[in-house]
Amino acid sequence: MASTSDIRNGLCIKFNHDIYKIIEFLHVKPGKGPAFVRTKLKSLTNGKVLDNTFSAGHKIDTVRVETQNYQYLYAEGNQFHFMNVETYEQITLEKDILDAPDLLKEGTNVMVQINTETELPLSVDMPASVILEVTYAEPGVKGNTATNATKPAKVETGASVNVPLFINEGDKIKIDTATGSYMERVKE
């Protein structure tokens, strides 16, 4: 058992007969009344996100997790296949567990959190950013250079990302996996 002072991003807890991962939290101490912790929780079974407020000192039931390094192999419908890089053991995960499945490229290393009591995978932590090649982008029109003008572009994994007008097909771009947004063009 832990209390609200132990809350941090990435902590897995048992709440309402389900397992949730804390995505965001904020300790609030109002001028009048008791302190509380405002949290955003993501269900690890169905992917739904909910807001919850815990009063200060509230006891929370934590789930012991172990983090292991896995490599993404391939997707088959809604099933995503991963291989443990140390034991070469393969696991299959549902698309709902993944935060950004459309940005996963074959061969990408991810961190998988596994419940130590049941040995079941709980969540997949993507790298902070991925580098993908643009497979389709409309050509930028000369003179169409308003501030921060963007256009949609398709990347090699099939995801659509808004990019600046100077990005062309064949360019490699860095994408933030948390927001799915363009970060920068990568020269190789």
pLDDT of the residue at 167 = 87
**DSSP-based three-state secondary structure for 183:** strand
pLDDT of the residue at 146 = 62
| pLDDT surpasses 90 at 113 | no
- The tens digit of pLDDT for each residue in 159-182 reads 899 998 888 899 999 999 888 899
Residue range 9-36: mean pLDDT, rounded: 89
pLDDT of the residue at 39 = 93
pTM of the entire structure? 0.74
Phi, psi of 158 (to 5 degrees): 100, -5
State what percent of residues in the chain have pLDDT above 70. Answer: 96
R_g over Cα of the chain: 20
Sheet architecture: strand order including 121-125: 90-94, 79-84, 65-76, 109-115, 121-125
